[in-house]
Chain A
Amino acid sequence: MTAAGPGPVIPNFGQGSACVTGNHFFCWGWVRQHWGDTLEPHLVQHVELTVIAVAIGFAIAFALALVSHRLRVLDQPIAITAGLIYTIPSVVAFEILIAYFGLSNTTVVIPLVGYSLVILYPNIVSGLRSAPPEVLEAARGMGLEPRQMLWRVEVPLALPSIIGGLRIAVVSTVAIATVASLVGDRGLGYPIFYALQLPTPFKTEIYSAGVLVVGLALGFDLVLVAARRILVRWAQ
């Protein structure tokens, strides 16, 4: 924890409200007062981190899946590499990357991208393989070119798997991104870390940040469920 970091207001024992000084279970007053300078900015950072990491992870995973869909031999090596990445604990990943990229956004984003990628890749691959053989035969017989078959048949049929993978990836990323606060003041992990370091850990800050994190994960999940309902009309 940086001594000189910009941060939330330190509960001033002596001048804060009774709730705060007494460190009661939950102080609504504090939440209202510090929404704008503490909770909301970190929430926004967390959302940004998650969206960027999953977006990049998805782009890479999709590209890799298309490649291994065409060249089946590559599937095993890619899958094994992915498995290996997943075994690296997030703490370890962040700490190692600090040495190379410092306390920057790059250090944070790279492991998050890695974990998203690892979750998304197998889901996309299995989705692409899920097209029934007779559908592919009919498509070929009708005169669809391989590229048309991919984009008009195989990819749309892969959507349920892809969205399933996205749900898992997003929820995991929201959780892992809390650890990213090891690397500095970004994300909802930071208020939690900060409150932990105080002589008396400040409950309200921990709980309010916690509620936001869990709520965020839930929120993303609901959005993706809604997306599935819209995009996958044919398999309700």
Chain B
Amino acid sequence: MTRPGRPQRERVVLAHRRGTRVVHTRVEVQEQTEVGDALVRGLVRAQLGLALRLAAVVAGGMAALPLLNAVFPELSAATIFGVRLNWLTLVVLVYPALYGVGRLFIRLAEQGERDFMGVVDDDSPPR
């Protein structure tokens, strides 16, 4: 919504309009008008989709480990620095992966919430 080049004039005009607009859209969400409900539905769907996608990646990866081991036992018998691959995976590698997915989720979920607030409030430009 930012239009570079004419910042000064825009701000003056918006400053007046913003007050009414904020109240207007906020009330739509708070009072559960059709528009407000559609906005909330969109937010819920986006957050659920994000959570499900990340969960599918993690669950798929985890479930693949015992299956891979069952099909290719020689793979987990390989050693790196004297540690067997199956132990290395489950004792060390899995944990940073879990943390990474969690961190990514927080970033994207908060981005989604900011976008939602951006639509509702219109004064917080999407960062």
State yes or no: do A and B come from one complex: no
Q: B-side interface residues toward A, CB under 8 Å?
A: none
Q: A-side interface residues toward B, CB under 8 Å?
A: none
